Amino acid sequence: MLQIGDQAPLFEADSTQGPVRLQDYIGKRPVVLIFYPMDETPGCTAQLCAVRDSKAAYEARGAAVIGINPASAEQHRKFAEHHGFDFPIVSDKDERIRKLYGVGKLLGLFLQQRIVYAIDKRGRIVFAKKGSPSAEDILRAL
């Protein structure tokens, strides 16, 4: 797991809203990366619905939110449409991004861990926490 103060690794990947390049955000706005295990499970759905419901708070800080897990872009599109998620969800099929960010695996190496990172405008990690932290905790770090 990356630590506060570490430089966020750059990545580019397909998402529910087209290609996402972390470098396009650096220098412009903070970014919240939400690594979550699986689409359409109770815990993951609740976590991402909480992000959706906190949209105004994230926008007030100028923060972009990006969900990440290894499911396909098509699976993510269905998940996003079903729940009204208007932030990109990245398909990390080869798990390259997970590995760059030190996100481990759970349940016999099947699912990735649930970890949230907040990255400031300079590209530095300012928040790193396992689990499903509140929007208030994440935004306080920004």
Active site residues: 44
Residues 142, 136: Cα–Cα separation, whole Å = 10
For residue 47, CA distances in Å to 21, 36, 50, 83 come to 23, 9, 5, 12
Length of the chain: 142
What is the C-alpha R_g of the chain?
14
Residues 30, 92: Cα–Cα separation, whole Å = 21
Residues 62, 79: Cα–Cα separation, whole Å = 25
